[in-house]
Amino acid sequence: MPAAAADTLQRSDRLDALRGLAIVWMAAFHFGFDLNHFGWIRQDFYRDPVWTWQRTCIVSLFLFCAGAGQALAVMGGQGAGRFWRRWAQVAGCALLVSAGSWFMFPDSWISFGVLHGIAVMLLLLRLGLARLPNGVLLLLAVLAIAAPQLVQHPLFDTRWTNWVGLVTHKPVTEDYVPVLPWLGAMLLGFVTTLAWPRLWQGGAPRPLAVLGRWSLSFYMVHQPVLIGTLMAVQSLR
């Protein structure tokens, strides 16, 4: 396949826009979380379904888009070098998130959040699962989503093992996106795109599409900007 055609297949304005929508939703969610952290509002972000279900939807949308993006990359003949460069960016940012969260929340720092989960799931997908038939992938997606409800064991309750997801209780951390059940969302995005690639053809709102192309950069800077702004405003009150 010619390079120009491959690049076109790997890039979809419609998929980028959906990712951009997830970014906007995430930023609004985090802004509310930050307002709560500084005591400007009083909300239970850890137990109130209004907030917990929003988080579930946001993470699911991100992982669905990640799976769809990988399907486009596979169909577009993406080379190993390009995949590993992007993977290194995601994994490096995951380490920065862990370090930053340890400074901000030493008792509940992020050891396996959304970027950590995406990094591991991308490896599972591109180094093995992507070779399986769509029907098998769909079955695996269902099993991944159901697994934490069916199997739990104290072995998976430590920071070294909770990344699997088969925990008996949720760890005390500011973000937790284990492989199970969240691999299911990525596999659904992957299978859906392989089965209906035309889903991502067509136009989309350009601001959201541009934002979606820079989602990792936005993710890394939005919280420091929001927290810094709120701290500055609070110091002036």
Cα–chain-centroid distance for residue 142? 18
The count of residues in the chain is: 237
Rounded CA separation 174/46 (Å): 9
Residue 77 falls in which region: left (phi positive, over 0), alpha (psi -120 to 50) or beta: left
Cα–chain-centroid distance for residue 51? 17
The tokens describing 21, both together, are 């929508």
pLDDT, one tens digit per residue, over 16-66 is 999 999 999 999 999 999 999 999 999 999 999 999 999 999 999 999 999
pLDDT, one tens digit per residue, over 144-174 is 999 999 999 999 999 999 999 999 999 999 9
Q: What angle do CA 204, 225, 61 make, to 5 degrees?
A: 40
pLDDT at 2: 36
pLDDT at 204: 94
* Amino acid at position 236, single letter: L
Cα–Cα distances (Å) from 145 to 50, 54, 106, 148, in that order, read: 21, 17, 30, 7
Q: Are 76 and 7 in contact (CB under 8 A)?
A: yes
Domain ranges of the chain: 3-236
Cα–Cα distances (Å) from 159 to 109, 148, 171, 178, in that order, read: 11, 17, 8, 11
The tokens describing 71, both together, are 């399907």
pLDDT at 8: 45
Element spanning 14, H or E: helix 13-37
Q: Which residue has the tokens 């998929």?
A: 15
Residue 178 falls in which region: left (phi positive, over 0), alpha (psi -120 to 50) or beta: beta
| Local structure of 229: helix, strand or coil | helix
pLDDT at 10: 60
φ and ψ of 183, to 5 deg: -60, -30
Element spanning 202, H or E: none
Q: What is the DSSP string of 55-111?
A: HHHHHHHHHHHHHHHHHHHHHTT--HHHHHHHHHHHHHHHHHHHHHHHHH-TTS--S
pLDDT, one tens digit per residue, over 3-28 is 333 444 567 999 999 999 999 999 99
pLDDT, one tens digit per residue, over 92-103 is 999 999 999 998
| Local structure of 219: helix, strand or coil | helix
Rounded CA separation 51/37 (Å): 14
